[in-house]
Structure 1
Amino acid sequence: MSGIRDYQAVVGEQLIEEIHDLARELKGCRVQHINSTFIGGGVAEILKRLVPMMQEAGLEVRWDVIKGSEEFYRVTKTFHNAFHGVPVQISPGMLDTYRWISRENYDLVDPRADFVILHDQQPLGLAEIRPDHPGRWLWYCHIDPVDVDQTVWNFLSPWAGRCDAAIYHIPAYARNLGHRQYFMPPAIDPLAEKNREVSPGEVASVMERLGIPVDLPLVVQISRFDRLKDPLGVIQVFRLVRREVPCRLVLAGGGATDDPEGIQVLQEVHQEAANDPDIFILELPPTSNLEINVLQRVAAVVIQKSVREGFGLTVTEAMWKSRPVVASPVGGITVQLIHGETGLAAATSEEMARAVVMILRDPALGEKLGQNAREHVKKNFTLPIYLKRWLELLKTEQGYPYGQKPDLAEMPVVAEVTTGPGSAS
C-alpha cells in the first residue's frame, strides 16, 4: 500500500504538505465508515484505499460492514434501482425487513466515534440511534437520487435527515434535507494495481491468459453486470460500429455481495451475444485489478453506456490511462467527460456508435482526447486530492456546535471540480 508521500510525483509537494497540515489538526479524531460490503462495487473500492490513508494521516479510522440476510440485500437492491428512477414495487414486508436488519446492526456503531459515516442507503437505518450518540453523523450518497421513487424516499429520508450533514458527488444530487450539504466526487488511486503503469510483457501475458487477440481494435466496457450499465445496449452499439470498422468487443466485470441481480444480468448478456466470436464476455473476480488495468490500456476506445451513474469510476480509470472515452452524459460522468475535450458524450446507441467510429478512424483525435482526459483526472480525481477534501470536510464539520442545524442562507461547502483540462486547480 502506497504512503501519502509516494503521491508527490503525481500531485506535487504543495498538496502533500497541505494534507499533513490538515491532518495535524485532526490527529486522533475517531472516524467510522459503514457500508454494505468489503468486496465489489465503487464504495468498497474507495474505502479500501481511503481508510489506510486516513489512518496514516493520524486519524483513528475503522471500516465496518452491516450484516444482512439475502432478503435484506434484495430489498436494498430494489431501493438502489428506485434511486435511479427504475419503476419498483415496494411492499410493507420489504420495509419491515429493512427496519429489522437495521435494528440488528445497531451494536455495530462505535459509541466513541467522533464521526459516523453511512455510505449509501443500505446502512441508513442505523441513523435511528443518532440522537443518543455523541458523534457527528454524515450520510454519503454515492448514487444519483434525482429521480428517486417517492415511496422509497419518504421511507428513507427521515433517517437521512437525522444525520448532521449529507455528502453528494455533485450539486445536482442535493436533496435539501434541512442539514448541511457537501459536494465531493470520489477518486481513483493512481498507484494502485488497477491504475499503475504496466510493462509490455505484462500486457502480452494478460491478454494471452484472457484469450483475447489484439489484431483488431478493441472496444471495451468495464462494469458490474448491472442493467443500469446497459450491457445489452453495449452489444447493440458494437454491432453498429462493426458495420463500419472491423473491431472486437470486450465486456468485462463482476458482481458485488450486495447485488443479487448480477447473475441474471450476466445470463442475459450471454444470450444477447449469441456466441459471437468477436464478443468477449469476462466475469472477473474482485482481485482482477491487473487484468482491468491492461484491458483499459489496450482499448482503442473505452465506452460507458450507463443509463444512470452515481459517478462512474471506470470512466475515471480509463481517462487516467489516457484512453479516449465515449460515455452517456449522465450523473457524475458529466463532470468528468467534457464533450470534445476529455472525451465524447453520446446519449443514444446510434450517437455512441458514431462517436466510436469517429475515434477508430481518427487516431489523432483519440490521442488528443486521451491526453486531455488524463490531465483532467490528475487535477480533480486522484486519491490525495480526495483525502485532502475529506480532511477539509471533517475539520469544517467539527467547527459547528454539536447538533446545530444550518441557517437557511448558509451556502453548502463544495469541493470544486475544475472545468477543463487546461484550468487552474
Structure 2
Amino acid sequence: MKPQFPGNIPRIKISSEENEVCVDMDNHCFMVTLENYRVTTRQSVWKKLIELADEFKKRNLRYCYFSSTPQGGGGYVAKPMPEVFVITKRKFHNVLQGVAPNTDESRLTDEDKDLWVRWCNDNFDRYWGENTGVVQKADVIIIDDPQLCAIIPSIKRVNPKCRIIYRSHIEIRADLIAQEGSLQKEVWDFLFSFISKADMFISHPISGFIPPYIPLSKVGLMPAATDQLDGLNKFLDEPDVQYYRNVFNRYCEDQCSPQLKPKRSYFIQVSRFDPSKGIPDVLEAYRIFKSKCLEMRVQEINIPQLVICGNGSIDDPDGNVVYDEAVSILCSPGYEIVREDVCLVRVPHCDQVLNSILRGAIVALQLSHREGFEVKVTEALAKQVPVIAYRTGGIPLQLENDISGYLVEPGNVKKVADLLYELFSDVTLHRKIAGKLRGEEQVLRRQEYYTTFQSTNWLYLVNCLAYKGGSVKPEDLPLKAPDEGTYDCNGKIIDWGAKYVKDFWAK
C-alpha cells in the first residue's frame, strides 16, 4: 500500500513468470476468512459448496481461468496490447452486442485476424504453453469471453485431456448472427472456429444470447455474480463512507467535474464509459427531471445531483470516446441547468470509493441499451438502493418491476425522469421499496448472484468435466434444444427448457 495510491488500496500483484493475478497480493494480506463467507451464505448452499470442494481436493483437481484484464477478471491474464484491444472491443464485443456502426470500419480484416491470433499465441507460448506447467497440469480451463479464445486449439494440443469451458459474459445478438451477410455473422463465424473446440459453453440465461451452431447439449446457464464481502459491497461505517466520499471529490476536482455537495442527495449510474451503457439517456433523463423540479419550485439545494462514474478497463479503447461524448452533451445548448449538478468521473480501481458512493445514492440508474447481466444492479439492490433500469438483456432477471425498482422500455427517458421525480418526492414510496430490499425474500433471491453460489456452480462443472473419475459425469448435463427461431434479445427470459447449472446440484 502507498499513500498516493487512491484510498490506500493494495495494488494488484501479477506474477512475472506466468502473468497470473496473485490472490491477496500473493498471500501477503488477507481480506476475509472462510467463516465470513459461511455466515453470509444459505446453509444448504454452503453444505453443497463444501461437499464439492472436498471432492475437488480429494481428486487433486486443478482448474485455471484465463481473462484479458486483471481488474474484474483475474486468473491468468494476457499482456496488454492496445492495437489488439481496439479489435477485440470494437470489432468483437461491440459488433456481437449490436452497438457497433454497420460500416466497413467495424468489419474484421485479414490483418486484424492475423494480429489478434498472433497476440494470443505469443501470450500462450511465453507464459502458459509447453514447459511452463500451467496448461499441462490443468484438468479444466475456463476462457472468459472472446479476447483469448484463439488459445483454445493450443490448449488442446499441449494437453489433449484438458476440458475447456468457454464463458460468454456479454450479450450476443444471436438474432443478427442468424442473418446472412451481417457483421455479426462474419465475426461469429470467425470466432466460432476457435470456440467450437471448447467442451462447454456457459451463457447468461437469456434466450437470445446463445448463438447459432452451438449444440445445446454443450450449453449451461449461469448469471454473473459479485462478492458481497469485497470492497465493492462490504459494510462501511460512516467515517469510512465520508473518507471515500472525500477521495471521490478529489477525483472530481482533478477531472474538472462538479463535486458532491455536502447537503444534497444524488442519483447515480455506475458503469464503464461504453457505447452500450446509455449514458446520453441518463443525462437527458436527469435534464428532464431537473426541469420538472424547477417547474414545481423545488429549491436548488433540495434537488438531487447526478453521479455518472465507473472504472476504466485496459482492454476497452471506447472509454475516452464515450466520456468525451458525455462532456460534449453537458456543454451543449439546453444542458445549462444541469451542468453544475453532474459529477462525471472516471474512477481508478478503488472498490471502496464505488461502494461508498453507490451506498449513499437515493436511486441507481442502469439505462443500458444492450446488457449481459449487470452486477451493478445487484450491488445497488444489496445496498437497499431502488433501481430504475431499461428492460434489456439480463436486467429483468435481477430487478422485479414495482418491487425492487422499475423496468422501463429502452429509450423512454421521459418515463425514467417521471420515476426519478416520483421516488424523490414520495418519501413513503422510496421507504417502501428500500424496505422490501431488506426483506428476507429479496435477500435470499440475491444469494444466487454472489461468490459462494457461483463457486458452487464452477466446482460442480469442474468435478463433472474432469477426466480423473468421480461421482458426476459429463453426460449428467443434458439440455434440451430450443425451437427454431426463438432468438430474442429484448429481455425475454429463457423459457425453452435449457437449464441453469444450479439446477443440477441444487436439489
In structure 2, which of residues 32, 36, 42 is the aligned counterpart of residue 12 of structure 1? Answer: 42
Q: What is the match of residue 310 of structure 2? A: 253
Say yes or no: does 1:104 pair with 2:132: no
Which sections of structure 2, spanning at least 5 residues, go unmatched? 1-30, 130-134, 178-183, 250-258, 294-302, 467-471, 483-496
- The aligned amino acid for 2:153 is E
Q: Is the 8 A contact 1:346 1:355 kept in 2?
A: no
| 1:167-200 deviation per Cα after TM superposition (whole angstroms, max 9, x unaligned) | 1121422235125111111211111121111112
In structure 1, which of residues 170, 181, 202 is the aligned counterpart of residue 205 of structure 2? Answer: 170
Which secondary structure state, in structure 2, belongs to the residue aligned with residue 127 of structure 1? helix
Whole-Å Cα distance in 1 between the matches of residues 246 and 374 of structure 2? 28
Q: Is the 8 A contact 2:89 2:317 kept in 1?
A: yes
- The aligned amino acid for 1:24 is D
Say yes or no: does 1:329 pair with 2:391: yes
Q: 1:136 to 1:244 in 2, by over 3 A?
A: same
Whole-Å Cα distance in 1 between the matches of residues 345 and 382 of structure 2? 22
Whole-Å Cα distance in 2 between the matches of residues 405 and 296 of structure 1? 39
Whole-Å Cα distance in 1 between the matches of residues 243 and 206 of structure 2? 43
Q: Is the 8 A contact 1:207 1:213 kept in 2?
A: no
Which secondary structure state, in structure 1, belongs to the residue aligned with residue 269 of structure 2? strand
Whole-Å Cα distance in 2 between the matches of residues 316 and 242 of structure 1? 27
Q: What is the match of residue 14 of structure 2? A: none
Whole-Å Cα distance in 2 between the matches of residues 170 and 358 of structure 1? 32
Which secondary structure state, in structure 2, belongs to the residue aligned with residue 116 of structure 1? strand
| 1:120-139 deviation per Cα after TM superposition (whole angstroms, max 9, x unaligned) | 01011111235432210010
- The aligned amino acid for 2:190 is F
Q: Is the 8 A contact 2:170 2:371 kept in 1?
A: yes
Whole-Å Cα distance in 1 between the matches of residues 320 and 395 of structure 2? 26
Aligned-pair CA distance for 1:89? 2.4
Which secondary structure state, in structure 2, belongs to the residue aligned with residue 256 of structure 1? coil
Aligned residues: CA RMSD? 2.6
Whole-Å Cα distance in 1 between the matches of residues 459 and 227 of structure 2? 17
Q: 1:407 to 1:144 in 2, by over 3 A?
A: closer
Instruction: Give the total of aligned pairs.
Output: 397
In structure 1, which of residues 221, 227, 239 is the aligned counterpart of residue 287 of structure 2? Answer: 239
Q: How does 1:11-90 map to 2 (within 5 A)?
A: 11-27=41-57, 28-39=60-71, 43-44=72-73, 47=74, 63-78=75-90, 79-86=92-99, 87=102, 88-90=106-108
In structure 2, which of residues 125, 138, 145 is the aligned counterpart of residue 120 of structure 1? Answer: 145
Q: Is the 8 A contact 1:323 1:367 kept in 2?
A: no
Aligned-pair CA distance for 1:256? 0.3
- The aligned amino acid for 2:349 is P
Whole-Å Cα distance in 1 between the matches of residues 321 and 33 of structure 2? 40
Q: What is the match of residue 171 of structure 2? A: 144
Q: What is the match of residue 350 of structure 1? A: 414
Aligned-pair CA distance for 1:217? 2.8
Whole-Å Cα distance in 2 between the matches of residues 93 and 112 of structure 1? 34
Whole-Å Cα distance in 2 between the matches of residues 406 and 386 of structure 1? 20
Q: 1:318 to 1:104 in 2, by over 3 A?
A: same
Q: What is the match of residue 204 of structure 1? A: 242
Q: Percent of counterpart pairs with the same letter?
A: 25
| 1:118-162 deviation per Cα after TM superposition (whole angstroms, max 9, x unaligned) | 000101111123543221001000001124511101110121111
Whole-Å Cα distance in 1 between the matches of residues 89 and 448 of structure 2? 30
Aligned-pair CA distance for 1:101? 1.6
Mark the structure with the bigger radius of gyration: 2
Q: 1:165 to 1:299 in 2, by over 3 A?
A: same
Say yes or no: does 1:180 pair with 2:179: no
Q: Is the 8 A contact 1:180 1:412 kept in 2?
A: no
Say yes or no: does 1:297 pair with 2:359: yes
Q: Is the 8 A contact 1:229 1:308 kept in 2?
A: yes
Q: How does 1:386-397 map to 2 (within 5 A)?
A: 386-397=454-465
TM value normalised by structure 1: 0.86
Whole-Å Cα distance in 2 between the matches of residues 226 and 409 of structure 1? 33
Q: 1:356 to 1:163 in 2, by over 3 A?
A: same
In structure 1, which of residues 202, 209, 216 is the aligned counterpart of residue 264 of structure 2? Answer: 216
Q: What is the match of residue 32 of structure 2? A: 2
Whole-Å Cα distance in 1 between the matches of residues 357 and 473 of structure 2? 46
TM value normalised by structure 2: 0.73
Which sections of structure 1, spanning at least 5 residues, go unmatched? 48-62, 418-423
